């Protein structure tokens, strides 16, 4: 049973940092690329970042490039999103999502999602 469980959300002041975690039991984590996708309150979905199955390749949305870092620990089946220099416009529910990877090649659609972690950036 594929499970993705985010943690680490909360309220943070503008300019501060926060790290989100995503635990991924129930499947061979090291076989899949992984993503972060966010959703501002009452808004649509916005892709944030992707990391390849082995962590060697990473890409970001322009809105977070240089401020956010995606990483993974395959031994412990964990995905992370380090968020620095947070802005009010980063307020959102952050979902970790599994890529529909096939044979270590990413597919770039999302076949399983976590329940989300709410990040509120406010003074």
Partner 1 sequence: ERVMTQSPATLSVSPGESATLSCRASQSIASNLAWYQQKPGQAPRLLIYDASTRATGIPARFSGSGSGTEFTLTISSLQSEDFAVYYCQQYNNWPPLTFGGGTKVEIK
Give the one residue of 21, 69, 84, 113 binding partner 1; rule: CB under 8 A.
113
Query: Residue 39 pairs with which residues in a beta bridge?
Result: 45, 93
Residue 88 interacts with partner 1 (CB under 8 A): yes or no: no
Give the number of C-alpha atoms closer than 13 A to the C-alpha of residue 6, restricted to the C-beta side. Answer: 26
The interface with partner 1 within residues 35-54 (CB under 8 A) comprises 35, 44-47, 50
Buried b (16+ CB within 10 A) or exposed e, 32-68: bbbbbbbeeeeeeeebbbbbbbebeeeebeeebeeeb
Nearer to partner 1, 35 or 72 (CB): 35
Coil, strand, or helix at residue 90? helix
Applying CB under 8 A, the span of 11-19, 69-77, 82-90, 102-110 interacting with partner 1 comes to 102-110
Q: What is the DSSP letter of 42?
A: T
Residue 27 interacts with partner 1 (CB under 8 A): yes or no: no
CB of 77 to partner 1, least distance (A): 19
Residue 56 interacts with partner 1 (CB under 8 A): yes or no: no
User: Under the rule (CB under 8 A), what is the footprint of partner 1?
Assistant: 35, 44-47, 50, 59-62, 95, 100, 107-116
């Amino acid at each position: 049973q594929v499970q993705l469980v985010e943690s680490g959300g909360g309220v943070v002041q503008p300019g501060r940092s926060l790290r989100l975690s995503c635990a991924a039991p129930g499947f061979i984590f090291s076989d899949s690329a992984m993503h972060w996708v966010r959703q501002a309150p009452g808004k649509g979905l916005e892709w944030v970042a992707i990391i390849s199955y082995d962590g060697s390749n990473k890409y970001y949305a322009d809105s977070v490039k240089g401020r956010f870092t995606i990483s993974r620990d395959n031994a412990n089946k964990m995905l992370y999103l380090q968020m620095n220099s947070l802005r009010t416009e980063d307020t959102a529910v952050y979902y970790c999502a599994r890529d529909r990877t096939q044979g270590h090649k990413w597919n770039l659609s999302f076949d399983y999602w976590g329940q989300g972690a709410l990040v509120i950036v406010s003074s």
